[in-house]
């Protein structure tokens, strides 16, 4: 996609067409970085700082409010400290061992 260098104020620049911005995943005002290599300059989206934008994301989530499922998760009793309390009194040691083995196998090969 050919283009030309243009005067922009006291500088010179390249106008990026909308499809190029979409391919980069940036919008007007978005941050980009230049990567200089012999014979070419690449433009890439700027790396975000750790936790950058979290405050805005949390504010948007708070504005939407919590769903009933979210409330259940947040209000759930998380004080269980034994398998019997977590699984109920009907589980045998062998059943718990089989469950733990199945979970471990699933972590190795989650499919």
**For the chain, domain boundaries:** 1-68, 77-111
pLDDT in tens, 41-53: 999 998 877 788 8
CA 12, CA 52: separation in Å to the nearest integer? 30
Return the closest-CA partner of residue 78 out of 86, 66, 90. Answer: 86
CA 30, CA 17: separation in Å to the nearest integer? 14
Confidence class for position 6, pLDDT limits 50, 70, 90 = very high
Q: What is the pLDDT of residue 34?
A: 92
pLDDT in tens, 38-88: 999 999 998 877 788 888 888 888 888 888 888 888 888 776 666 556 666
**pTM attached to this predicted model:** 0.41
CA 95, CA 98: separation in Å to the nearest integer? 5
Selecting from 3.40.50.1220, 3.30.360.10, 2.40.10.10, 2.10.260.10, what CATH number does the domain 1-68 have? 2.10.260.10
């Amino acid at each position: 996609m050919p283009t030309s260098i243009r005067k922009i104020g006291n500088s010179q620049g390249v106008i990026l067409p909308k499809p190029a911005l979409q391919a980069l995943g940036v919008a007007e005002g978005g941050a980009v970085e230049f990567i200089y290599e012999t014979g070419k300059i690449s433009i890439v989206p700027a790396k975000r700082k750790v936790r950058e934008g979290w405050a805005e994301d949390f504010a948007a989530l708070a504005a939407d409010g919590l769903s009933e499922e979210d409330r259940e998760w947040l209000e759930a009793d998380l004080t269980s400290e034994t398998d019997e309390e977590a699984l109920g009194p009907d589980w045998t040691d062998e059943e718990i061992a089989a469950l733990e083995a199945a979970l471990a196998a699933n972590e190795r090969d989650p499919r």
